[in-house]
Structure 1
Amino acid sequence: MSTYKKMLVAIDLTEEAPQVLNKAKAMCDAQGAELLLVHVVEPVGYAYGGDIPMDLSELQDQLDKAAREQLGKYGDEYGIAAANQVVTVGRPESEIHRLAKEHNVDLVIVGSHGRKGFQLLLGSTANGVLHGTECDVLAIRIH
């Protein structure tokens, strides 16, 4: 197995995030790699089909601010520099693909609930990341 130099860990800011972060940080430390901590905020209009006739920019700004604060707390707790903490808005799979390429990442780490069969094949962010990332992908099983 090759040594990884730059890893991207994508988390969803739920109570399950530390399960993914603990393993990602341990791997990163063991390999002497740089760790990029990422959270993708989905666009508010996207979640509602884009048919809401009101301005949702204030809500989007609040979600973005809350995500940055939470990611900053994780960054502090896990010793990840502020420059390596990224909050972006978009579709998680697309944004993770873009960031991995932009930052020359050689391993993407995501959490997976470990569903089986068709549940794993359909609709999983981890699955979407796997099929489109040019580097290795590691799915951490969330319990």
Structure 2
Amino acid sequence: MSTYKKVLVAIDLTEEAPQVLNKAKSIAESQAAELLLVHVVEPVGYAYGGDIPMDLSELQDQLDKAAHDQLGQYGEQYGVAKDSQIVTVGRPESEIHRLVKEQGVDLVIVGSHGRKGFQLLLGSTANGVLHGTECDVLAVRIH
């Protein structure tokens, strides 16, 4: 009997994503678990603090489309079904916590750069996911 039935892997769509995806695919296969592929697009307003009086919806739409396209490519490459590929908009930690509950996830896999000092104190997505998720979390060291 497998330990994990549903694994969520959250990636940032950088060139480092395959390191995390390879580990997630291997774990999901060894557990005969379903693999959910997730990317969270942060709202453009966060980047500008919401202080710019302009309509950023077109830029947000472009970012969303690019994320869907790139996630779809990873999904195809790693054999993840379209209905198991999720692009959502919001704060990464909050969206991952929400998806864990909604999807019945029992393992979250995220990448970690292993930051130290002030960067660690300020927190990271991996740290935020770890401290608010009720299931197991695996942080894959990115080299």
Query: The TM-score by the shorter chain falls in which range?
Result: over 0.9
Matched, 1:12 2:12: yes
Distance of 1:122 and 1:55 partners within structure 2: 30
Distance of 1:45 and 1:119 partners within structure 2: 23
Structure 1: stretches of 5+ with no match in the other structure: none
> Is 126-135 or 109-118 further displaced after alignment?
109-118
Give 1:98-117 correspondences, 5 Å limit: 98-117=98-117
The aligned residue for residue 61 of structure 1 is: 61
- State the identity %: 85
Distance of 1:22 and 1:135 partners within structure 2: 21
Distance of 2:45 and 2:107 partners within structure 1: 31
State the 1:117 CA deviation: 4.4
- Cα distance change of structure 1 residues 118 and 54 upon mapping to structure 2, 3 Å threshold: closer
State the 1:121 CA deviation: 3.7
Asked if 2 retains the 8 angstrom alpha-carbon contact of 1:44 and 1:56, the reply is yes
The aligned residue for residue 133 of structure 2 is: 133
Structure 2: stretches of 5+ with no match in the other structure: none
TM-score by length of 1: 0.96
Runs of 4+ in 1 over 6 A off after TM superposition: none
TM-score by length of 2: 0.96
Distance of 1:103 and 1:121 partners within structure 2: 30
RMSD over aligned Cα atoms: 1.0
Matched, 1:31 2:27: no
Asked if 2 retains the 8 angstrom alpha-carbon contact of 1:121 and 1:127, the reply is no
- Give the aligned length: 142
The aligned residue for residue 40 of structure 1 is: 40
Distance of 1:47 and 1:119 partners within structure 2: 18
Q: Deviations over 1:27-58 (max 9, x none)?
A: 00011000000000000011110011110000
